[in-house]
C-alpha cells in the first residue's frame, strides 16, 4: 500500500490530523492497535480550549459540540472549604467548552467514515523504517499476515506507550519526567453536576475536582495514593471524602448516585525532545504528558495537529518545508508553557507526602492572593483558556 502520510494511532489526534489533511487533498492511512469500540470507550478529558474548539470547527466536526457542548466562562478555586470564581471572559475575553473526548472521537470517526479514507484497526507489531531517508515505510501485522505501507511522512499519534517515540535513536532523544507521588480517583455518575462550572479544591486532606460531561453526567475526582486498592473506595466512601474537601455550599447540594465508572490514574509530567526525527513527527501523548490539573492533555495534542497539518499542507501545496523543519521547535515552545502551567497548578492544589502545616498554609496564602489579584487571575485564565497557536 502507498500513501502520502501514514498516521500511527487512531485516537482523536490521529483522526483530527487525518481529517485536516483530507480536506487539503492529502492522502492518509491510519493504523490503530485497538478496536474502534475500545477507542470510543476511553473516558478522558472534557474541557476544550477555545483554540481547540475553533480547530474542530475548521475540521468540520463541530456541529454536535456547538449544539450539545457547554460553554464555561469561568472556574472556581477553593481552599478551606470556601471557593472563589475566576472569570475567563472578563479577564481574557475567551471561554472554554465542556465536550468530552469520547464525543470528539465519535465525531471524528463519523467524518473519517464519510471520506472513505482507510483506518486499519487491530494493527499489531507496528514497525517504523527508513525514517532518516526519503522513503520511509511502516510494517504491521493483521492476524498472521505482515503488511507494508510506503509513504512520504509518518505521524506518531500513538500515545505514551506506542512505538513511534521509541523509533527515535537513544542518542538523539531526550526525555524529561516528573512522576507525582499520588493519583486521582475518578468517579463517573449519572447525576446532575454540583455546579455549573468546574471546582478545583485544595484541602489539607488532599485535592478534589468537580467537573461535568453534561446536565446529567458528572465526573468527580479526589487525590489518593496511586497504589490504593480500588475496592477500598466504595461509592459511599468516595462521596463522603469528596464532601469533606469541596466548598461547603457545594457539599450541601451535592447529588450522589451509583458510580458507572471508577478508576485511579497516576499523574506525571513528561516531555520528549525532539518531536521530529527525519520523516517522523510526534504528536500528543507520544511526545508529552501533563497531569490532568488544568485540562491540557487533549488540547496540547490538538495544538500539535494544528502545527503539523499546516506544515504538511505547505509542503504539498507550496513546496515550502519551513513548517516541517520548524515543527519540533514550534510545538515544544507551546508544550513547555503548558507543562509549566499544569505543574504549577498541580503543586498549588495537591497535598504532597510529608507536607508540613507551613507548606499547607503557603498554598492557602497563594490562593488567597489569587482571589484578591486581578493580575494573577488574568495570568491563570490566559493559560487555562489556552495560549495562542
* Domain assignments of the chain as residue spans, ordered by start: 5-47+61-70+100-177+268-345
Inter-residue contact 305 to 17 (CB < 8 Å):
yes
Cell matching residue 202: 485544595
Model pLDDT for residues 342-365, shown as the tens digit of each residue: 999 999 999 999 999 999 999 999
Nearest CA-CA partner of 263 in 293, 230, 237: 230
Nearest CA-CA partner of 28 in 151, 121, 139, 158: 151
Model pLDDT for residues 2-47, shown as the tens digit of each residue: 999 999 999 999 999 999 999 999 999 999 999 988 898 876 668 9
Nearest CA-CA partner of 151 in 163, 166, 134, 168: 134
Nearest CA-CA partner of 105 in 192, 34, 202: 34
Inter-residue contact 219 to 211 (CB < 8 Å):
yes
pLDDT of residue 41: 82
DSSP-assigned letter for residue 230: G
Cell matching residue 79: 481552599
Task: For the beta carbon of residue 171, count every other beta carbon within 10 angstroms.
Answer: 5
Residue 129 designated active-site: no
Contacts of 230 (CB under 8 A, 6+ apart): 262, 263, 264
Give me the CATH code for the 5-47+61-70+100-177+268-345 domain, please.
3.50.50.60
Alpha-carbon distance 60 to 77, whole Å? 34
Alpha-carbon distance 349 to 73, whole Å? 21
Residue 329 vs residues 16, 273, 275, 326: alpha-carbon distances, Å: 21, 9, 8, 6
DSSP β-bridge partners for residue 82: 79
DSSP calls for 303-335: HHHHHHHHHHHHHHHH---HHHHHHHHHHHHHH
Alpha-carbon distance 201 to 275, whole Å? 34
Residue 224 has phi, psi (to 5 degrees) of -155, 165
| The Cα angle at residue 354 between residues 351 and 358, in degrees rounded to 5 | 75
Query: Do you know the residue count of the chain?
Result: 389
| Alpha-carbon radius of gyration of the chain | 21
Catalytically annotated residue among 12, 136, 292, 316? 292
Catalytically annotated residue among 22, 203, 296, 315? 296
pLDDT of residue 213: 84
> In degrees to the nearest 10, what's the CA dihedral of 27, 31, 34, 39?
-30
Residue 121 designated active-site: no
Inter-residue contact 96 to 48 (CB < 8 Å):
yes
User: For the chain, which residues score pLDDT lower than 50?
Assistant: none
Catalytically annotated residue among 22, 70, 72, 306? 72
- DSSP β-ladder status, 280-282 and 137-142: unpaired
pLDDT of residue 43: 66
Residue 296 designated active-site: yes
pLDDT of residue 42: 74
Catalytically annotated residue among 109, 200, 281, 307? 200
Alpha helices in 87-176 (DSSP H): 88-92, 101-115, 163-166
DSSP-assigned letter for residue 138: E
> What's the order of all strands across the beta sheet hosting 145-150?
124-129, 137-142, 145-150
Residue 220 designated active-site: no
For 192, left (φ over 0), alpha (ψ -120 to 50), or beta?
A: beta
Task: For the beta carbon of residue 132, count every other beta carbon within 10 angstroms.
Answer: 11
Residue 118 designated active-site: no
Amino acid at each position: 500500500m502507498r500513501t502520502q502520510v501514514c498516521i500511527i494511532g487512531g485516537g482523536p489526534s490521529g483522526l483530527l490530523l487525518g481529517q485536516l489533511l483530507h480536506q487539503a487533498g492529502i492522502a492518509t492511512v491510519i493504523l490503530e492497535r485497538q478496536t474502534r469500540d475500545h477507542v470510543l470507550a476511553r473516558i478522558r478529558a472534557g474541557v476544550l480550549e477555545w483554540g481547540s474548539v475553533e480547530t474542530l470547527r475548521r475540521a468540520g466536526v463541530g456541529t454536535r459540540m456547538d449544539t450539545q457542548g457547554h460553554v464555561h466562562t469561568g472556574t472556581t478555586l477553593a481552599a478551606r472549604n470556601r471557593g472563589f470564581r475566576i472569570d475567563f471572559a472578563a479577564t481574557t475575553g475567551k471561554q472554554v467548552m465542556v465536550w468530552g473526548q469520547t464525543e470528539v472521537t465519535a465525531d471524528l470517526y463519523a467524518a473519517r467514515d464519510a471520506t472513505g479514507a482507510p483506518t486499519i484497526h487491530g494493527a499489531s507489531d507496528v514497525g517504523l523504517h527508513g525514517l532518516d531517508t526519503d522513503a520511509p515505510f511502516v510494517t504491521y501485522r493483521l492476524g498472521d499476515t505482515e503488511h507494508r505501507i510506503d509513504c512520504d511522512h509518518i505521524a506518531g499519534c500513538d500515545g505514551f506507550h506506542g512505538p513511534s517515540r521509541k523509533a527515535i535513536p537513544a542518542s538523539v532523544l531526550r526525555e524529561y519526567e516528573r512522576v507525582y507521588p499520588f493519583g486521582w480517583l475518578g468517579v463517573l455518575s449519572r447525576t446532575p453536576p454540583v455546579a455549573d462550572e468546574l471546582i478545583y479544591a485544595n484541602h489539607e486532606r488532599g485535592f478534589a475536582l468537580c467537573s461535568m460531561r453534561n446536565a446529567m453526567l458528572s465526573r468527580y475526582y479526589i487525590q489518593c495514593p496511586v497504589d490504593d486498592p480500588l475496592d477500598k473506595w466504595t461509592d459511599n466512601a468516595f462521596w463522603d471524602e469528596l464532601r469533606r474537601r469541596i466548598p461547603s455550599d457545594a457539599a450541601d447540594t451535592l447529588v450522589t448516585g451509583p458510580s458507572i465508572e471508577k478508576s485511579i490514574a497516576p499523574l506525571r509530567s513528561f516531555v520528549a525532545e525532539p518531536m521530529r526525527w527525519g520523516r517522523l513527527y510526534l504528536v500528543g501523548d507520544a511526545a508529552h504528558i501533563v497531569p490532568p490539573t488544568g485540562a491540557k492533555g487533549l488540547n496540547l495534542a490538538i495544538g500539535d495537529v494544528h502545527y503539523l497539518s499546516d506544515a504538511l499542507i505547505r509542503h504539498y501545496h507550496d513546496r515550502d518545508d519551513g513548517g516541517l523543519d520548524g515543527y519540533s521547535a514550534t510545538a515544544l515552545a507551546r508544550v513547555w508553557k503548558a507543562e509549566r502551567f499544569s505543574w504549577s497548578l498541580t503543586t498549588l492544589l495537591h497535598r504532597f507526602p510529608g507536607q508540613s502545616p507551613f507548606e499547607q498554609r503557603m498554598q492557602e496564602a497563594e490562593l488567597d492572593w489569587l482571589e484578591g489579584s486581578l493580575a494573577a487571575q488574568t495570568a491563570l485564565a490566559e493559560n487555562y483558556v489556552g495560549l495562542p497557536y
